[in-house]
Amino acid sequence: MSTSRPWKRRITRAAAITAVGASALVMSAVPSMAAQKCTGAAEANVCLSIDRLSNGEYAVHLGIDWHISKSDAEAIILGGGPLRAEMIGDDAFSDDHLFDVPLTDAGASDGFGLSIDFDRVVPAFFLDEDNTPFDRTDEVFGRIKITDRRTNSTRTFDTPEFVQRF
DSSP labels, the chain: -----HHHHHHHHHHHHHHHHHHHHHHHHS-----EEE---SSEEEEEEEEE-TTS-EEEEEEEEE---HHHHHHHHHTT--EEEEEEEE-SS-EEEEEE--EEEEEEETTTEEEEEEEEEE-HHHH----BTTB--EEEEEEEEEEETTTTEEEEEEPPPEEE--
Report pLDDT for 106: 97
Report the pLDDT value the prediction gives residue 124, as an integer from 0 to 100. Answer: 92
- Residue 11's pLDDT is 40
Tell me, what's the pLDDT at 158?
Answer: 97
CB 72 within 8 A of CB 110: no
Give the three-state DSSP class for 63. Answer: strand
Predicted local confidence at residue 15, as pLDDT:
45
The pLDDT value recorded for residue 8 is: 40
- Residue pair 67/42 in contact (Cβ under 8 Å)? The answer is yes
Q: What is the pLDDT of residue 34?
A: 58
Q: What is the CA radius of gyration of the chain?
A: 23
The pLDDT value recorded for residue 35 is 78
Q: In which residue ranges of the chain is pLDDT below 70? A: 1-34, 92, 133
Every domain of the chain and the residues it spans: 31-164
Measured CA distances, 65 to 46, 50, 82, 116, 141 (Å) = 7, 18, 16, 7, 17
CATH number, domain 31-164, options 1.20.1070, 1.10.30, 2.60.40, 2.40.30: 2.60.40
Give the number of other CB atoms < 10 A from CB of residue 92. 7
Q: Provide the pLDDT for residue 128.
A: 87
